[in-house]
Amino acid sequence: MDTRTLARISGLALAAGLFAQAVPAVAQDAGAREKCYGIAKAGQNDCAAGPGTSCAGSSTRDYQGNAWKLVPKGTCTTTRTPAGTGSLTPIDR
């Protein structure tokens, strides 16, 4: 086996090990978070900001009512923005 092949195999093994460790951490954290609508700045939403948007970073206005961010569970409705507080459901803004 030449040096380049060994380096590629080592790199793939390292990447696979890092990915395997990261997945359980994300899955565990998901239960401790909730979607909070109306708190994201333009282009900083986590995903699916309603009609005309596709996913993360696609909101077009600050505090867009149908754009959400994941926040620690129980903190959404106390999160304040210049447009009002966050909501657990989409809001008309």
Mean pLDDT in residue range 37-58:
79
Q: Residues 48, 88: one domain?
A: yes
SS3 track for 33-83: EEEEECCCCCCCCCECCCCCCCCCCCCCCCCCCCCEEEEECCCHHHCEECC
Statement to judge: residues 57 and 68 lie in one domain: yes
The reply to whether 72 and 43 lie within a common domain is yes
Same domain, 25 and 51: no
Residues 82, 44: one domain?
yes
Predicted local distance difference test score (pLDDT) of residue 88: 96
On whether both 80 and 48 belong to a single domain, the answer is yes
Tell me the mean pLDDT in the region 13-30: 48
Same domain, 36 and 14: no
What is the mean predicted confidence (pLDDT) over 30-34? 82
Same domain flag for 66 and 36: yes
Instruction: Average the pLDDT over each of 2-6, 17-21, 84-88 and give the range with the smallest value.
Output: 17-21
As for how many domains the chain has, the answer is 2
Q: What is the pTM of this model?
A: 0.61
- Compute the mean pLDDT over every residue in the chain, rounded to the nearest whole number: 77
CA 14 – CA 8 distance, rounded (Å)? 10
Domain that holds residue 63: 32-93
Neighbours of 69 (CB within 10 A): 22
